[in-house]
Amino acid sequence: MNLIYRPRRLRKDDTIRRMCRETRVSSDSLIYPIFVDEMLLGKREIASMPGQYQYGLDTVDQAVMECIQAGVKSCLLFGIPSHKDALGSSAWAENGVIQQAIRKIKEKFPDFYVITDICLCEYTDHGHCGVLCKEQVDNDQTLDLLAKVALSHVRAGADMVAPSDMMDGHVAMLRKTLDEAGFIDIPIMAYSAKYASAFYGPFRSAAGSAPAFGDRKGYQMDPHNRKEAIKECSLDVEEGADLIMVKPALSYLDIIRECADTFDVPVAAYAVSGEYAMIKAAAQAGLVDEYKIMCEAALAVFRAGAHILITYYAKELAAAIQKQDIG
């Protein structure tokens, strides 16, 4: 058969396939989430997320060391405080769990890049992401508190802040607060397109952040909406976000692609707890090859246009990249 174009020529062997890859993956693009429990000594496996742990302040440096040894250079910190109240005041305490964790990490690993989650849900006794007015979150009152949280994290040594609360105007408030305090070089990675997803279940048990009543649909995005994600990202970029995020990742690849095509800032994607737990459960049941599924799922996110992947598989993916099984 006289064919001019034979695409299989570029698939003939491993060398040519690697040479012609459109999507490249680097361990520099991986961020590992770390849970720090103020009340814990040592570490405790998270029942809903096999292979993942809550760390005490005495072992958080161990979590970081494991990242460094695997080739992962940054983390996203989540705190579990010993005290919760209606305002989530532990979130901005000078000696709060995250503030202590940052100082401990930076003392031992000054070059390790520490990103902190900025939200109140883990610190409030009602589990919502802001100040309540009756049973609704008061957007504008919450902004002042989020700014206090971000400033306290940066003063403790955080390299980047990542507001996940989904309050309107939060990026502008954080940017203004940080700039006025002299932290003009601290980047903001906004959870810009954060959907009200069923994939968050395992995280909420891991972080102790499930709402005591109702849900978060009033401030997180409706999974039906695509154009709204572009609007949310546009607002955050206009307010000064240096990076934007889509969360969850695998079920929102179309949103990642559209954001990557639309905005001239890096796009992060968060492969959330439910995505991780599903792969683990299927692998434990003998239904899938965990390693291959892990690699393929991550590749899909990068192929969709993400520049950064926040994932509980960060250490394993870094090893897979080193082995050239993905990359």
Q: Give the amino acid at 62.
A: Q
- Helices marked H in the chain: 14-19, 60-70, 97-108, 139-156, 170-180, 201-207, 227-239, 253-262, 273-284, 290-303, 314-322
Token pair listed for 189: 């990675």
Rounded to a whole number of angstroms, the distance between the first and last alpha carbons of the chain is 35
Residues paired with 136 in a beta bridge: 133
Which of the following is catalytic: 104, 194, 280, 315?
194
Whether residue 7 is preceded by a cis peptide bond, meaning omega within 30 degrees of 0, is: no
Residue 116 CB-density burial (10 A; 0-12 exposed, 13-18 middle, 19+ buried)? buried
Dihedrals φ, ψ of 21, to 5°?
Answer: -65, 140
Which of the following is catalytic: 73, 247, 280, 315?
247
Catalytic residue list contains 84: no
Catalytic residue list contains 108: no
The residues annotated as belonging to the active site are: 194, 247
